A and B are shown apart, each in its own frame.
Chain A
Amino acid sequence: MLAWIPGLPLAAFAVLILVGRRLGRASAWVSVAALASSAFLTLQLTPHVLDGQRLAVSWRWLSATDPAWFLGLAVDRLSWVMLVLVTVIGTLITIYSIGYMQDDARFSRFFAYLSLFCAAMLGLVMANHFVLLYACWELVGLCSYLLISFWFEKPEAARAGRKAFLTTRVGDTGLLIGILALWVTAGQLHLGRLEEIRTFFVLRDQTWWLTIISTLIFLGAVGKSAQIPLHVWLPDAMEGPTPVSALIHAATMVAAGVYLVARTLPLFTPESLRLVLWIGLATHLFAGTVALTMTDIKRVLAYSTISQLGLMMTALGLGAASSAMFHLSTHAFFKALLFMAAGSVIHATHRQDLRELGGLGRHLPWTRALFLIAALSMGGFPLLSGFWSKDAILLSAREHAPWLMWTLLGGAAVTAGYIFRLYLRCFHGSPVASGCGTPHDSPAVMILPMAALGLGAAFAGFAGPGVFHVHGGLDVPMLISSSVALSIGVTLAFAVGLKRRVLVPAVLRPLGTKLYRLAANKYYVDEAYQRWIIGPFLDATAWLSRFDRRIIDGAVDAAGLGGWRIGQWKERFDRVVIDGIVNGIALVTRSIGHVVRRAQTGVIHHYLFWVVAASVMLMLWIRAVSA
């Protein structure tokens, strides 16, 4: 039965890619039905999983006999959480897409890709073998590529898709090398045997191998979850249709990196966890500040996603896998909702630049209300789901080190700041003249899935103690401090973001401008990569190509030419010298013959005369010699 969960969306993909165009509008419902059935199957597993059972199925893959190469699917608590997220949110977003994509020429193709993505993502979280995990990991990357560049006629979309695939692939090679290293050292790639592998290395006193392997695995997560320094692809990925941004680039696929680290946590050592912590923290703060300055709605949300993923990584770095997964789940709800609300705004106004938007609250009441719920949840408003999960992380940080908690609280203020800046400037303030009449709220097929996600964004947090075993109950000092952070963020967003007050004292203003410009230019990371990595890489390819043509092939041609020359020279030698000798001899012989022929007259007494004369001469000569 487990195989049906990814199998149904895969079947939907196969149907849609083959006969999708004939199905027309119905193709969307094939996709929805498959995914909803997967969701249903997943929910049926609930009692088994919450009992702590592990369900598994496996089959032969690379070897008919060696069980180390049998691949399989398994569901435990960790993967079950991901399954619920992918199937439930996936179903809702697929329904939403019916409205969002209604006029698209490649309508059925979109749902085919979406189904393939869900199949691969479900396979990824259910995989019980590193190779299957890697395979699905690459396949979700492919779907991400196909969906980002779905509107491939736009050159930016085509470029963004390629950038996403290549950037994540850099991380993936790390994962692949990690897998190879694990196989060569431990000879075991089953995800259910991670504790055994850990013991194996600990007993041999080779934990440095664990550090290397876990760091390499983390590199894969860095790529997929858009952590520094491989975060550059995610903001560009917003070129894809908005439902794709919601499902893949916010709720599920980008969270796969967090899932991977949580899954392989037994392999991590204190050293590699410290790396995870620092990368996560740096990403959290870095992306948060960039989000404060972006003016494109979807880019604000993209940097917000990067920042929140950084927060989850920070939690993992603390070893708090359950808090990280908890935040991953609540984030999936509110961030998917934020993207869908943003999509609703774009759908209504055909604009996505904050400078051209404002005062939409009156026209889009549902969208506004749902956006507000999601924003409050993300900002950590008490009792909404984001509050619980963020507090769980803050509590882990407090146990680790107070400075870390304070830093994260600062990050929380930034989070509240950018999300309310976005909210206020979209839905409040003066309406900016738009050329396309009065915007209307989206149709029910889009609003209803958003409302369902709104429920999740508000109440999913109450599942914390039951599902994630994070400790329930309110921690009052934490409640107060995180509420203060939220209030500061909201106030600043109102004062600076909406009312355009300048709060920086005059002395610091030049510095402020400089910092702002730095953040608004995304810290010039893209430019640095272009200059120091991509440029030299392309130069190297061009140089090697010339080297190949001129030097290597040149040597071959030179050898060929050399052979040719030798042949020519030899030919001339033959003609002039060898033939010359042969002809010369012939010539000499012939000339002699000419001379001698005169003597051969055929008259006998001539010959006799010569014989007598020669005999006389000979006798005279002998005499002379003997004397």
Chain B
Amino acid sequence: MILSGLLLIPLIGMLVVLLLPKTATRLIRLTATVSTALTLGVSLAVLRLFDPQAAGVQLETFIPWIPQLNIAYHLGVDGLSIMMVLLTTGLSFLACLASWSIPERQKEYFTLYLLLELGMLGTFLALDLFLFYVFWEIVLVPMYFLIGIWGGGRREYSAFKFFVYTLAGSLAMLLGILAIYVATHTFNMTELAQVCPTFAPGLQHLLFVAFFLGFAIKVPVFPFHTWLPDAHVDAPTPISVLLAGVLLKMGAYGFFRISYPFFPEGARWFAGAMAALGMINIVYGAFVAMAQTDFKRMVAYSSVSHMGFVLLGLSSLTPEGFNGALLQMFNHGTITGAMFLLVGVLYDRAHTRDLTAFGGLGSRLPVYAAMLTIFSLASLGLPGLSGFVSEFLSFVGAFGVQRWPTIVSVLGIVVTAAYMLTAIQRVLLGALNQRWQALPDMTPQELVTVVPLLIIVVLVGVYPLSVLRLQDPAILALLQHVGMFQ
């Protein structure tokens, strides 16, 4: 039942915000912050109850919902989802703190914000395919409005593009879901993981591709990635954080939760393409990021590049590769989330994100400089910080199976270092641009949103077992499952 709490708290918070008068902005913010904080607290309680040794689903909740169609309110958590749940609650809380500076229409904003958190958590918790699809689609709606109303630049265009593009992907997935239901008459994902692998290979390939389209757009996989830079750049800072930190993970999580366990034959058939796509994401994303002059756009393309490690790890079908892929999802969420927060801090002060307009901020804003440097280093995969561990694991897993894509990807990390260091150099180093003479350093309120992420990044980097031990049994079980249907 505790998992229902994770969904109920944002729901109640949302209803309370709806009941509050529009002018009570302080109370509205407070309600939202308390709701996200409570959700985070409950998720930590879930972590305490979670047994890292067990491979299967834990803390299950099963209530029939539409029995005629075998649809149930079915929740559960396992090694594949536990870190995603924590990532969601953690980032939602931090981004909620960062949302205090939202200047207008706070009531609508926080209502949608809490609905968004509800949808994201539901996606990671659902064990019923129909329920999964419902939550998956719920996420789209608040996101559309949050970008379209509170965003900047071409916000309506970007929001529309995000919405329609993801919806188009969801349609392919919906067809897949219907096909599965017609064949099996169940939506129970635990049962489906046993039944679907027995489908004929041709059908498996077809269904794998259908789900792949839905997930690939969300990840995003090249060439379906162009909604991402637009949406990230035009979204307000806290929403960019959630978009990069959590929403991209929904796609990758779909591979782990649905594509691989349901269609092992499809997964093996697609492995080569997956590795190639991962390589393209890594290298292509890095090259394009190198050419950007908008700081936020650069970070957005770095997301494309970093999500490539997830694909590369997945393609390997090895324990190291899968562990790397799943850990990379968590690490990318924390690192890139922080990067977007930091870009937001800069934008709030300077009202520009043009990399060429800065210079020499390192001497003016030492604390900010330290934070930006550390997270950039984490992003370029410096050992001792979390990004290195997951990239390394993906490489280790993939090298034996997909040799050349892996080698090319390893070479890609030089480009990653190049654009990250170039950004640091442009913003922080050199002589201080006189325009920014009066720029203040980070405030405590801003530091509060970033420092927790810093601690996680260092902790996972130095002692990766802290996360790996939670996910390892589930991954081994998944691989065994995939291997069984050979």
Chain A residues proximal to chain B, CB less than 8 Å: 60-64, 131, 134-136, 138-139, 142, 145, 149, 152-153, 155, 158-159, 161-162, 165-166, 169-170, 173, 176-177, 180-181, 183-184, 538, 540-542, 544-545, 548, 552-553, 555-556, 560
Whether B395 lies near A180 (C-beta < 8 A) is yes
Whether A169 lies near B465 (C-beta < 8 A) is no
**B431 CB–A CB distance under 8 Å:** yes
Which residue of chain A is the closest to B164 with respect to CB atoms?
A560
Distance in angstroms from B350 CB to nearest chain A CB is 19
Whether B399 lies near A158 (C-beta < 8 A) is no
Whether A556 lies near B161 (C-beta < 8 A) is yes
Q: How far is the CA of A437 from the CA of B68 in the complex (A)?
A: 98
- Given A138-B383, A560-B161, A180 contacting B429 (CB threshold 8 A): no
Distance in angstroms from A233 CB to nearest chain B CB is 13
Residue in A134, A180, A544 whose beta carbon sits within 8 Å of that of B287 in the complex: A544
**B150 CB–A CB distance under 8 Å:** no
Which residue of chain A is the closest to B462 with respect to CB atoms?
A61
Distance in angstroms from B153 CB to nearest chain A CB is 15
Interface-located stretch among B82-90, B127-135, B241-249, B288-296: B288-296
Distance in angstroms from A143 CB to nearest chain B CB is 11
**B422 CB–A CB distance under 8 Å:** yes
Whether B410 lies near A170 (C-beta < 8 A) is no
Whether B414 lies near A153 (C-beta < 8 A) is no
Whether B414 lies near A545 (C-beta < 8 A) is no
Whether B384 lies near A152 (C-beta < 8 A) is no
A–B Cβ pairs within 8 angstroms, 24 of them = A62-B389, A62-B468, A63-B472, A134-B383, A139-B382, A139-B383, A145-B421, A149-B429, A153-B432, A165-B421, A166-B418, A169-B417, A181-B399, A541-B290, A542-B291, A544-B288, A545-B287, A548-B226, A548-B288, A552-B222, A552-B223, A555-B223, A556-B227, A560-B161
Distance in angstroms from A7 CB to nearest chain B CB is 13
Q: How far is the CA of A13 from the CA of B170 in the complex (A)?
A: 50
Whether A61 lies near B465 (C-beta < 8 A) is yes
Could you say which residues of chain B place their CB within 8 Å of the CB of A169? 413-414, 417
- Given A134-B383, A135-B383, A166 contacting B421 (CB threshold 8 A): yes
Which residue of chain A is the closest to B225 with respect to CB atoms?
A552
Q: How far is the CA of A548 from the CA of B292 in the complex (A)?
A: 11
Which residue of chain B is the closest to A135 with respect to CB atoms?
B383
Residues of B365-422 whose CB lies within 8 A of A: 377, 382-384, 388-389, 392-393, 395-396, 399-400, 406-407, 410-411, 413-414, 417-418, 421-422
Whether B395 lies near A176 (C-beta < 8 A) is yes
Could you say which residues of chain B place their CB within 8 Å of the CB of A541? 287-288, 290-291
**B352 CB–A CB distance under 8 Å:** no
Whether B288 lies near A180 (C-beta < 8 A) is no
Size bracket, chain B contacts: 35 or more
**B256 CB–A CB distance under 8 Å:** no
Could you say which residues of chain B place their CB within 8 Å of the CB of A553? 226
Whether B406 lies near A180 (C-beta < 8 A) is yes
Residue in A61, A184, A540, A544 whose beta carbon sits within 8 Å of that of B399 in the complex: A184
Could you say which residues of chain A place their CB within 8 Å of the CB of B382? 138-139, 142
Given A62-B393, A177-B410, A555-B223, 16 more contacts at CB 8 Å?
Answer: A62-B468, A136-B383, A142-B382, A153-B429, A162-B425, A166-B418, A170-B414, A173-B410, A173-B411, A176-B410, A181-B399, A183-B399, A541-B288, A542-B291, A556-B227, A560-B164
Q: How far is the CA of A560 from the CA of B161 in the complex (A)?
A: 8
Could you say which residues of chain A place their CB within 8 Å of the CB of B465? 60-64
Could you say which residues of chain B place their CB within 8 Å of the CB of A142? 377, 382
**B260 CB–A CB distance under 8 Å:** no
Residue in A149, A161, A165, A544 whose beta carbon sits within 8 Å of that of B417 in the complex: A165
Which residue of chain B is the closest to A158 with respect to CB atoms?
B429
Whether B360 lies near A153 (C-beta < 8 A) is yes
Residues of B324-350 whose CB lies within 8 A of A: none
Whether B388 lies near A180 (C-beta < 8 A) is no
Q: How far is the CA of A553 from the CA of B288 in the complex (A)?
A: 13
Could you say which residues of chain B place their CB within 8 Å of the CB of A177? 407, 410
The 9 closest A-B pairs by CB, nearest first: A135-B383, A545-B291, A158-B429, A553-B226, A541-B290, A152-B429, A541-B291, A184-B400, A180-B399
Whether A166 lies near B414 (C-beta < 8 A) is yes
Which residue of chain B is the closest to A546 with respect to CB atoms?
B291
Which residue of chain B is the closest to A181 with respect to CB atoms?
B399
Whether B226 lies near A556 (C-beta < 8 A) is yes
Could you say which residues of chain A place their CB within 8 Å of the CB of B287? 540-541, 544-545
Which residue of chain A is the closest to B419 with respect to CB atoms?
A541
**B430 CB–A CB distance under 8 Å:** yes
Distance in angstroms from A236 CB to nearest chain B CB is 14
Q: How far is the CA of A509 from the CA of B82 in the complex (A)?
A: 76
Q: How far is the CA of A555 from the CA of B225 in the complex (A)?
A: 12
Residue-wise, chain B 211-223 has the 8 Å CB interface mask toward A (1 for contact) of: 0000000000011
Distance in angstroms from B263 CB to nearest chain A CB is 27
Could you say which residues of chain B place their CB within 8 Å of the CB of A552? 222-223, 225-226
Whether A545 lies near B284 (C-beta < 8 A) is no
Q: How far is the CA of A152 from the CA of B366 in the complex (A)?
A: 12
Whether B292 lies near A545 (C-beta < 8 A) is yes
Residue-wise, chain B 265-298 has the 8 Å CB interface mask toward A (1 for contact) of: 0000000000000000000100110111000000
Residue-wise, chain B 253-265 has the 8 Å CB interface mask toward A (1 for contact) of: 0000000000000
- Given A61-B465, A138-B383, A153-B360, A544 contacting B418 (CB threshold 8 A): no
Which residue of chain B is the closest to A149 with respect to CB atoms?
B429
Could you say which residues of chain B place their CB within 8 Å of the CB of A131? 392
Distance in angstroms from A556 CB to nearest chain B CB is 5
Could you say which residues of chain A place their CB within 8 Å of the CB of B377? 142
Task: Give the most central of A62, A139, A161, A166: most B CB within 10 Å.
Answer: A62
Whether A155 lies near B421 (C-beta < 8 A) is no
Whether A158 lies near B425 (C-beta < 8 A) is yes
Could you say which residues of chain A place their CB within 8 Å of the CB of B428? 152
Q: How far is the CA of A62 from the CA of B396 in the complex (A)?
A: 12
**B363 CB–A CB distance under 8 Å:** yes
- Given A62-B464, A176-B410, A544-B291, A135 contacting B384 (CB threshold 8 A): yes
Task: Give the most central of B165, B291, B362: most A CB within 10 Å.
Answer: B291
Which residue of chain A is the closest to B297 with respect to CB atoms?
A545
**B469 CB–A CB distance under 8 Å:** yes
Distance in angstroms from B287 CB to nearest chain A CB is 5
Q: How far is the CA of A63 from the CA of B389 in the complex (A)?
A: 12
Could you say which residues of chain B place their CB within 8 Å of the CB of A158? 425, 429-430
Could you say which residues of chain B place their CB within 8 Å of the CB of A176? 395, 410
Could you say which residues of chain B place their CB within 8 Å of the CB of A555? 223
Q: How far is the CA of A553 from the CA of B297 in the complex (A)?
A: 14
Q: How far is the CA of A541 from the CA of B415 in the complex (A)?
A: 10
Whether B417 lies near A180 (C-beta < 8 A) is no
Which residue of chain A is the closest to B417 with respect to CB atoms?
A169
Distance in angstroms from B399 CB to nearest chain A CB is 4
Distance in angstroms from A40 CB to nearest chain B CB is 26
Which residue of chain B is the closest to A145 with respect to CB atoms?
B421
- Given A62-B464, A180-B399, A153 contacting B430 (CB threshold 8 A): yes
Which residue of chain B is the closest to A549 with respect to CB atoms?
B226
Task: Give the most central of B226, B388, B393, B428: most A CB within 10 Å.
Answer: B226
Whether B393 lies near A556 (C-beta < 8 A) is no
Could you say which residues of chain B place their CB within 8 Å of the CB of A61? 463-465
Could you say which residues of chain A place their CB within 8 Å of the CB of B393? 62
Q: How far is the CA of A224 from the CA of B146 in the complex (A)?
A: 48
Q: How far is the CA of A183 from the CA of B164 in the complex (A)?
A: 45
Q: How far is the CA of A401 from the CA of B269 in the complex (A)?
A: 56
Whether A173 lies near B413 (C-beta < 8 A) is yes
Could you say which residues of chain B place their CB within 8 Å of the CB of A173? 410-411, 413-414
Could you say which residues of chain A place their CB within 8 Å of the CB of B472? 63-64
Could you say which residues of chain A place their CB within 8 Å of the CB of B418? 166
Could you say which residues of chain B place their CB within 8 Å of the CB of A60? 465
Whether A166 lies near B291 (C-beta < 8 A) is no
Residues of B411-456 whose CB lies within 8 A of A: 411, 413-414, 417-418, 421-422, 425, 428-432
Q: How far is the CA of A153 from the CA of B363 in the complex (A)?
A: 8
Q: How far is the CA of A117 from the CA of B236 in the complex (A)?
A: 39
Could you say which residues of chain A place their CB within 8 Å of the CB of B413? 169, 173
